């Protein structure tokens, strides 16, 4: 089979135009990818595909891919769509194959087979056919029901997901079919590069953070780079091959102002009480990876535009060498608005994709996902999460969509995360006694900050952040990247306590408390 590629068409992600795919005789394959382009491929079973085998047009806010070969021969079509693009797929006799994380797909075929591969916990499915297909395959441990049904006053055969109505899902597939000969469903893992993730992914991610990781723990430029692991206690574990320990340390004076210009000799690092030799202490010149996390859940009770403006101002805090990402909790889901980039000029344009305020408040789940999205893969770099939130997870408030992770496990994991956590805590109760749930939310956010080596900043409301921006900028200036080779080379898995002191009067330092050496 020979395939000819004819088109690369740029399509904006998430808010892209719907795509209508029509191939009356041939088959249709649709795949979703992270590439923000529409890619169309045509193929024939005999001979090369021709330039006129399909056309693409645009009308009334939709793109249309129409397969109508001049010679009337069968042509199969493959379409790659960016995540988040809705589509229709229409054929009379051809197969329809869908693969990936589908946002919204409507399928119609008379006699073609259906082959769908998707993460089914995130995807709702309804298939109506005129007759029962003779060949139906469903993956194990998935929830589907099938059998005779009534649809629009007609007797049909139906295959439908049995997901709970409260289940948080990403997309849906709806199918109308005639005498469909085959339905084959297969399971796909939830894609790592998806721009939207479900909060129920967080417990497995948190367990992987606590129990082990494949990312490197070595400092850049070190002679070896080997995996970092973490224990059930949620703190860093270094395999026996690792010879360099990397730390991020915030240094301030007794008034909280940053102390800059320190050299390696200004630091004293003790590992289990034994002095270590600091080999590097970068500060101003070392880049930061800043992940700005926006809590757009219903509990924030604020407008979207204020959050957009807050994100814009925190982007302005970053220095030229820093990278910035923007994430959001909205509609019970974790959204990647923009991945880490140094292109600060392009970031404001990405803010138009920030979703509207609404949904529950699985704050803990989405903070785990915020760390795992990119920062976890950069253990030897300086990382920080700036979280603009009221901290009111529905675990605390008791209604809506609570996080599925255990907060105490998250606390333990924060000590081993290679990221400083800076909650910008929205606290309207600074002039009146806070109710119990608000007090608990503040205490928990402060605990995450402290355990990671970060710091909590308070603000009365999202539109009252002006005093906070310079404070965060000053805080980031106070952070040093230290590295040292442990004198104790017996990496037996034991816990090692780390103490960092600064040889300057009145200096105070914050860092994570230690690691397990393996």
Residue 485 buriedness (CB in 10 A; 0-12 / 13-18 / 19+):
middle
How far apart CA 278 and CA 262 sit, in angstroms, is 12
Mean pLDDT of 430-437: 78
Question: What residues pair up with 32 in beta bridges, in sequence order?
Answer: 81
Sort strands 267-271 and 495-502 into parallel, antiparallel or unpaired: antiparallel
Whether the per-residue pLDDT at 215 is higher than 60: the answer is no
Mean pLDDT of 441-451: 93
Phi and psi (nearest 5°) for 8?
Answer: -125, 115
How far apart CA 300 and CA 344 sit, in angstroms, is 27
Q: Please write the tens of the pLDDT for every residue from 72-83.
A: 899 999 999 999
The CATH number assigned to the domain with range 288-480 reads 3.40.50.410
Mean pLDDT of 306-332: 92
pTM of the model: 0.86
Mean pLDDT of 249-276: 90
Mean pLDDT of 158-177: 95
Helix (H, G, I), strand (E, B) or coil at 307: helix
Whether the per-residue pLDDT at 61 is higher than 50: the answer is yes
Residue 158 buriedness (CB in 10 A; 0-12 / 13-18 / 19+):
middle
pLDDT (0 to 100) of residue 201: 96
Residues with Cβ within 8 Å of 431's Cβ and at least 6 positions away in sequence, in order, are: none
First to last CA, the chain: 52
For 60, 239, 240, the CA distances from 516, given in Å and listed in that order, are 60, 9, 11
The CA angle 489-495-498, to the nearest 5 degrees, is 80
Whether the per-residue pLDDT at 239 is higher than 60: the answer is no
Tokens, residue 299: 């509990």
Q: Please write the tens of the pLDDT for every residue from 91-135.
A: 999 999 999 999 999 999 999 999 999 999 999 999 999 999 999
Q: Residue 501: how many CA atoms within 13 Å on its side-chain side?
A: 11
Residue 72 buriedness (CB in 10 A; 0-12 / 13-18 / 19+):
exposed
Task: Please give the share of the chain, as a percent, with pLDDT higher than 90.
Answer: 55
Q: Domain locations in the chain?
A: 288-480
How far apart CA 294 and CA 421 sit, in angstroms, is 13
């Amino acid at each position: 089979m020979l395939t000819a590629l004819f088109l690369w068409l740029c399509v904006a992600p998430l808010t892209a135009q719907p795509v209508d795919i029509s191939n009356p005789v041939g088959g249709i394959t649709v795949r979703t990818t992270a590439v923000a382009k529409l890619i169309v491929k045509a193929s024939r079973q005999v001979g090369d595909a021709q330039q006129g085998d399909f056309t693409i047009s645009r009308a009334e806010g939709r793109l249309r891919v129409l397969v109508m070969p001049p010679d009337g021969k069968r042509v199969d079509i493959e379409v790659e769509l960016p995540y988040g693009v809705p589509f229709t797929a229409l054929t009379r006799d051809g197969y329809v194959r869908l693969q990936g994380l589908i946002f919204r797909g409507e399928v119609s075929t008379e006699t073609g087979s259906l082959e769908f591969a998707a993460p089914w916990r995130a995807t709702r499915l309804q298939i109506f056919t005129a007759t029962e297909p003779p060949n139906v395959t469903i993956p194990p441990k998935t929830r589907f029901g099938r059998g005779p049904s009534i649809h629009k006053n007609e007797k049909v055969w139906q295959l439908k997901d049995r997901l709970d109505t409260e289940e948080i899902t990403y997309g849906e597939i709806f199918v109308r079919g005639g005498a469909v000969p085959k339905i084959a469903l297969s399971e796909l893992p939830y894609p790592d590069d998806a721009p939207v993730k479900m909060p129920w992914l967080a417990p497995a991610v948190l367990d992987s953070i606590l129990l082990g990781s494949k990312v490197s723990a070595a400092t850049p430029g070190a002679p070896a780079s080997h995996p970092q692991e973490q224990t059930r206690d949620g703190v860093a574990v270094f395999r026996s091959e690792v010879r360099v320990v990397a730390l991020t340390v915030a240094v301030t004076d007794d008034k909280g102002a940053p102390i800059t210009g320190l050299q390696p000799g200004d630091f004293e690092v003790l590992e289990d009480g034994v002095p270590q030799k600091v080999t590097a202490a970068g500060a101003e010149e070392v880049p930061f990876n800043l992940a700005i996390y926006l809590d757009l859940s219903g509990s924030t009770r604020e407008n979207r535009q204020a959050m957009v403006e807050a994100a814009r101002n925190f982007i302005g805090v970053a220095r030229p060498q820093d990278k910035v990402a923007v994430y959001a909790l909205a509609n019970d889901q974790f959204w990647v608005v923009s991945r880490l980039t140094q292109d600060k000029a392009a970031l404001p344009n990405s803010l138009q994709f920030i979703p509207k305020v609404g949904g529950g408040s699985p704050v803990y789940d989405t903070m785990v996902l915020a760390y795992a999205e990119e920062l976890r893969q950069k253990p030897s770099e300086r990382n920080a999460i700036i979280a603009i939130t009221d901290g009111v997870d529905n675990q605390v408030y008791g209604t809506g969509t609570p996080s599925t992770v255990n907060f105490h496990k998250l606390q333990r994991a924060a000590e081993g995360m290679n990221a400083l956590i800076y909650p910008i805590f929205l606290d309207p109760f600074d002039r009146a006694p806070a109710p119990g749930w608000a007090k608990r939310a503040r205490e928990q956010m402060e605990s995450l900050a402290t355990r990671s080596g970060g710091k909590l900043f308070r603000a009365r409301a999202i539109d009252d952040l002006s005093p906070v921006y310079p404070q965060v900028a000053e805080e980031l200036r106070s952070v040093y990247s230290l590295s040292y080779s442990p004198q104790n080379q017996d990496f037996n898995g034991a816990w090692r306590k780390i103490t960092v002191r600064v040889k300057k009067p009145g200096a105070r330092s914050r860092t994570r408390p230690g690691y397990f050496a393996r």
